[in-house]
Amino acid sequence: MFWVTLKRVMKSGWVNFKRNPLVSSASVLVTTITLSVITALFLFNASLSSMIISLEDKVDIAVYFTVDAQEEKILALKDTLSKIPEVKSVEYVSADEEVLAFRDRHADDYLTLQALDELGGNPFGGSIRIKAKDSGQYESIASLLEGDSEVARENSQIIERINFAQNKLVIERLNSLIDGARKGGGATTLILSIISIIIMYTTVRLTIYMSREEIGVMRLVGASSSYVRGPFVFEGMLYGAFAWLITMLMFLPITYVVTRSIGSLISINLYQYYVSHLFSIGSIVLLIGLTLGAISSFLAARRYLNV
């Protein structure tokens, strides 16, 4: 009996969907816009994550040591920092490597290299480069080295300077970019979802009004509330399903064109990412589309039919 009822409800919903092509097309279009923005946000987040990883690889804290600092103490500090949960990696650069890097950077500056040679020795001490697991953790790491901690007190004699102050502005801007992008994307999705629900809600109410005589007959013969409401909920889900199909197909050429046009400006191949994640992205977007359609139709039917 259940399957027979379900089949009738779905058939009635499909008839309603086909009977009002203009109204249905408008609802599908609005839902497609919403799902397109959501899909675009998935791709944007993937690009953002890739960009963040690339930027974070370029951001670090450099700790420079005095010329007379013993290598054993520097390596001991390196081991201590490596055990801190917030630290991703610690790289040691010896004094000899520092002077070689300096010479490479100023290979075309004869006067600078001549001045270095006239010093008669290596004016550089060793250094370590610290990368954090998250860009928001650099300040706490710097505080550990510059504050009143045991690590800072034990190594104050060998640490010449820490470049966190110079990198602080870059790190703060990176964190602001991450937070702003995530909040902006979430707000956009929420606004468009609400707009989509309102439009589908209005569309279903119009459909219900046009079917008022049929509903009246169904009431007279004793149809249950769920049976009356069911076709309209299914109709709303059809809006979401068709919008999902259009969105998924539409983004195949879009991602391909974007990758061909500005692929060099972003650190990820959007087309390959979209194709390889088509099932996971498609499943989530389909669920969102069906949910938006079902909720808007359910609310419209509940209010209009008072069931």
> What would the pLDDT profile of 190-230 be if each residue is shown by its tens digit?
776 677 667 766 766 666 666 666 666 666 666 666 777 77
Tens of pLDDT, residue by residue over 1-60, are 556 666 776 776 677 777 777 777 877 887 888 888 888 878 877 877 777 777 667 777
| pLDDT the model gives residue 307 | 47
Structure confidence by residue, pLDDT tens digits, 50-92: 777 776 677 778 888 888 888 888 888 888 888 888 888 888 8
**Domain layout of the chain by residue ranges:** 2-55+180-305, 67-157
In the CATH hierarchy, which fold is given to the domain comprising 67-157?
Answer: Alpha-Beta Plaits (3.30.70)
User: pTM for the whole thing?
Assistant: 0.63
Looking at residue 244, its pLDDT comes to 92
Mean pLDDT on 250-263? 85
Check residue 7 and give its pLDDT: 75
| Structure confidence at residue 265 (pLDDT) | 63
Confidence of residue 263 (pLDDT cuts 50, 70, 90): low
pLDDT in tens, 112-171: 777 777 777 777 888 888 888 877 787 788 888 877 778 778 888 888 888 876 666 766
- Note the pLDDT of residue 122: 75
Hunting for tokens 């974070």 — which residue is that?
56
Give the pLDDT mean for 279-293. 87
